Amino acid sequence: MGEAFGVWPMGNDNTLMKLISSANIACGFHAGDATIMRKTAQMAIKYNVAIGAHPAFPDLQGFGRRNMQLPPQEIYDICIYQIGAMFCTAKALGGKLHHIKPHGALYNMAAKDAVLAKAIAEAAKAINPDLVFYGLSGSHLISEAEKIGLKTASEVFADRTYQNDGSLTPRTQSNALIESPQEAVNQVIMMIEKQCVISTDGNEVPLKADTVCIHGDGNHAVQFVEELRNALLSRNVFIKTIL
């Protein structure tokens, strides 16, 4: 959320904020700015939604979705900068930063690279060791954060397809996104109840699901969230902030 520049209100954010339990707010490197960060955090506090920092590569033109080869120290530095900004923004509003989740290419690269994952996790811990670290289920993001004592939340995706190794299908491929609300619901229900997902090759891939991501800028984001909420609640799966 908060992936705009000086424009308010932003897309689906106001509607979605009433339906979710946690929000990943852009910190200025791939999208967002200081004012948008403040307004989005205010909205999260209003609806009792957990505030998360969403650090990214410094890539405004590519929306943080282009791979960048940066040394671990620089990864640490850019994460300190962004997480710190969101931490202070939330504090100034009388709220608090609850979690961190890397964005886009930084997320996907660190999921497969333990060194990058460790740099991000260490930045989060340096800001506040009580932060929850959101990362791709079964990836280095989770294992490296756990190694340094951070609480983690294994993340799964409602609107993305998966590869055999548990990674997300790259957005450059035509089958990367899930466009059908029913398909998204079915995938999430399987991930929660059976702890697996079906890859694009038709294989079962085991995973753990603590938190479900839906991209707020998706074409069907509001419909996905509404239908997923209804499906989960009908199965007595309750939606709440990870403590």
Peptide bond between residue 129 and the one before it cis (omega within 30 degrees of 0): no
β-strands 22-26, 97-100 pairing: unpaired
Report pLDDT digits (tens) over 43-52: 999 999 999 9
What is the dotted CATH code of the domain comprising 13-234?
A: 3.20.20.370
Verdict on whether the full-model pTM lies above 0.85 = yes
Helix (H) or strand (E) holding 135, with range, is strand 132-136
pLDDT band at 102 (very low <50, low <70, confident <90, very high): very high
Tell me what pLDDT residue 8 has.
63
Residue the block writes with tokens 């209003």: 46
pLDDT band at 222 (very low <50, low <70, confident <90, very high): very high
What DSSP state is assigned to residue 26?
Answer: E
Tokens for 44, please give them: 């999260």
CA distances, 218 to each of 44, 56, 143, 223, 236 (Å): 19, 18, 29, 10, 26
